Amino acid sequence: MSLIAGIDIGSTSVKISLLDTNSQKIIATHKNKYNFQMNEKLKNFPNYCQQDVGTIVESIQKTLSLFDAQLRANVKLISICGQMHGCVLWDNQSYYEYLPKTEEFKVNQTSVSDLYNWQDSRCTDQFIASLPTPHSYNTCISSGFGCATIFWLQRHSNQLLNQFNSSATIMDYVVAVLCHLKRPLMSSQNAMSWGYFDPIGHSWNEYILKSHDFPIHLLPIVKKCGSIAGETQFNWLGIKTKTPVMVALGDMQCATYANLRDNPHT
């Protein structure tokens, strides 16, 4: 049996399905809600929307462990999608710890920021108006977009920003850990959701960003959708080392594609 593990990292829960590559049918699925603790530091900032990355990763691994061990051993490919726009920052020298006894990984909380997710509204209309116009067919920038969040941190929390040398979506963080990437990879879908990405030229608006003091060294490398990001560098809860991992995709595109595939005349 050859299986694909599909992992959806949502805003409130994680969903994992195992797809049989021969029958093209889902043979098992599990879901788990996140158990976030109240962050006392944020209680006076209702417009901030940050989520603990360690809690999300814990939920992913708890959900994966619910599958039969034999099924996990037959996973030949990992594909991850999830909530778009959001931003996680980390130091690529120490962003996770692998635990061989349990075959899990643990987030290094001192080297990884919270997830500033798509619901974050710290960027006021006035702040958004102060940002440069992107060179793209979609020139809209909103609070919660990755590049807008980094612009805000650069202007208001530069000391925090200087602790990190990498950034991407929460899905890209998980892919980076599994493949032990020194620089994160991001699909063009998620790059578009951050803003300041030209899908025709397949490149970030580096000139525009540089001219406004944006820390472009934080930007991930953008790969085409459907690309392989790398291979797992350790056994992960029964999924074997050297299992290919795809570049993470956006949840909206995946849901739309699945609906059109199942209902071609819709």
More confident: 95 or 40: 95
Give residue-wise pLDDT tens across range 165-193.
999 999 999 999 999 999 999 999 999 99
More confident: 192 or 260: 192
Q: How much is the pLDDT for 35?
A: 83
What confidence tier does 144 reach under pLDDT thresholds 50, 70, 90? very high
What confidence tier does 135 reach under pLDDT thresholds 50, 70, 90? confident
Can you give the three-state secondary structure of the chain, one letter per residue?
CCEEEEEEECCCEEEEEEEECCCCEEEEEEEEECCCCCCHHHCCCCCCCEECHHHHHHHHHHHHCCCCHHHHHCEEEEEEEECCCCEEEECCCCCEEEECCCCEEEECCCCECCEECCCCCCCCHHHHHCCCCCCCCCCCCCCCCHHHHHHHHHHHCHHHHCCCCEEECHHHHHHHHHHCCCCCEEEHHHHHHHCCEECCCCEECHHHHHCCCCCHHHCCEEECCCCEEEECCCCECCECCCCEEECCEEHHHHHHHHHHHHCCCC
In this model, does residue 138 exceed pLDDT 90? no
Q: What is the mean pLDDT of residues 15-19?
A: 98
Q: How much is the pLDDT for 234?
A: 98
Q: How much is the pLDDT for 260?
A: 64
What confidence tier does 258 reach under pLDDT thresholds 50, 70, 90? low
What confidence tier does 41 reach under pLDDT thresholds 50, 70, 90? confident
Q: What is the mean pLDDT of residues 137-150?
A: 90
Domains within the chain, CATH numbers bracketed: 3-262 (3.30.420.40)
pTM score of the predicted model: 0.94
What confidence tier does 44 reach under pLDDT thresholds 50, 70, 90? confident
In this model, does residue 239 exceed pLDDT 70? yes
